Amino acid sequence: MSKGGDIAALTEGLPPDAHPEWLPPMLAVLTDERFSDPDWIFERKLDGERVLVFRDGARIRLMTRNHNAVNDTYPELVEALAAQPAREFVADGEVVAFDGKVTSFSRLQGRMQIADPDKARASGIAVYLYLFDLLHLAGHDLTGLPLRRRKSLLKQAIRFDAPLRYAPHRNEAGEAYFEEACAKGWEGLIAKDADAAYTHGRSRDWLKFKCSAGQELVIGGFTEPEGSRKGFGALLLGYFEDGKLRYAGKVGTGFDDAFLENFRKTLEARRRETAPFDDAVDEDAIWVRPDLVAEIGFTEWTKAGRLRHPRFLGLRRDKAAEDVIREEPKK
């Protein structure tokens, strides 16, 4: 333990619970309201890949939100977790790569596409695992505890040496911290009710303060390249609403030549004859099976429900296509 305490003492009085095979992660709700509150804490919103860490003795699993094991992509993280004094725990966190002082999902793409540990280490892309919550420890369920208590236990139970990092937070002053975050080029903040339990699924006890617009969207088709461009021209995007795929527009920027060529092969393997979108799409497009998710940055939604100035940031493997909805600020 980082402070030399006794793990058994940390969980004294808590009900025993078997090590879980899976726990659905808690998810934040987007809001455009900024506030300060002494009963809330505010964490940096990291632009990476969400993972849950499951350690049960020698067995360590890094799992994405949609149940993918990513141990081979991040072998140095597995090694750091194996060196922990705590032998049984479940922690929540985010894997990130940096571009300067800013976390970069685009840079992380270079690691996310690798499934061989040796190639991952040789990629030259350093990754870090920020942990921000502790759900299980030494045979005890912590999810019913207040967030402040869980974070305190996390800081005591885990030894935070590189590449493991504790996700710090600020108390109360959410508005000032949000202004600072945006000035530094961060994605935003996550505001969390400090007394809330950890609930599985989306909850208003966690709120997203975003500095700029952006969300995951489903790829439903593509256009042919024009001129000297290779691979494809643009990706056609959508989101699910009441079980139907709604069209959100197309994105044609944010790709390099290698991605354009390689991803065309991925798209070809998913070709279908009919459009997957429920809306009429006025594009000369090639349709694909809507099971791939892209992270898209944009300035705003138009009144017609289309993306304004979209740019491709990368592919997401930590979210199932059917879970992608249009994120709108909640009051």
| The pLDDT value given to residue 299 | 87
The pLDDT assigned to 126 comes to 98
Higher-pLDDT residue of 170, 283: 170
Q: Does an H or E element contain 81, and which?
A: helix 75-82
The predicted structure's pLDDT at residue 282: 82
Structure tokens that stand for 108 in this block: 């992380």
237-252, pLDDT tens digit by residue?
Answer: 999 999 999 999 999 9
Q: What is the pLDDT of residue 330?
A: 75
Q: Which of 45, 151, 192, 250 is catalytic?
A: 45
pLDDT tens string 85-119: 999 999 999 999 999 999 999 999 999 999 999 99
Helix (H) or strand (E) holding 43: strand 37-44
- Residue 51 predicted with pLDDT over 50: yes
Q: What pTM was computed for the model?
A: 0.85
Based on the residue annotation, tell me whether 45 is a catalytic residue of this protein: yes
At which residue do the structure tokens 């049984």 appear? 88
- CA-to-CA distance for 156 and 150, rounded, in angstroms? 10
Dihedral sign of CA atoms 91, 94, 98, 100 in order: negative
Q: What is the pLDDT of residue 283?
A: 82
CA distances to 90, 97, 149, 215 from 37, in Å: 29, 31, 18, 27
Other CB atoms within a 10 A radius of the CB of residue 140 amount to: 20
Residues 6+ apart with CB under 8 A from 259: 231
DSSP 167-188: --EEEE-HHHHHHHHHHTT--E
For residues 27-55, give the mean pLDDT.
Answer: 96
Q: Does residue 5 carry a pLDDT above 80?
A: no
Q: What is the mean pLDDT of the chain?
A: 94
Looking at residue 328, what is its pLDDT?
86
Q: Give pLDDT, residue 255.
A: 95
- Average pLDDT for 126-153: 97
**Residue 329 or residue 84, greater confidence:** 84
pLDDT at 4 over 70: no
Cα–Cα distance measured from residue 301 to residue 310, given in angstroms and rounded to the nearest whole number: 10
Q: Between these two residues, 64 and 5, which has the higher pLDDT value?
A: 64
- Give dist(CA 85, CA 104) in Å, integer: 31
Is residue 236 scored above 50 in pLDDT?
yes
> Is residue 289 classed as helix, strand or coil in its secondary structure?
strand
Write the pLDDT tens digit of every residue in 174-199: 999 999 999 999 999 999 999 999 99
Amino acid 2: pLDDT: 42
The CA distance from 79 to 317, in Å, is 22
Radius of gyration of the chain (CA): 21
Q: Which residues contact 21 (CB under 8 A, 6 or more apart)?
A: 54
Position 247 scores a pLDDT of: 97
Confidence tier at 331 by pLDDT (50, 70, 90): low
Average pLDDT of 2-10?
65
Q: Could you give all domains of the chain from N- to C-terminal order, each with its CATH number?
A: 15-210 (3.30.470.30), 214-323 (2.40.50.140)
CA dist 151 → 48, 145, 159, 215, 272 (Å): 20, 10, 13, 27, 47
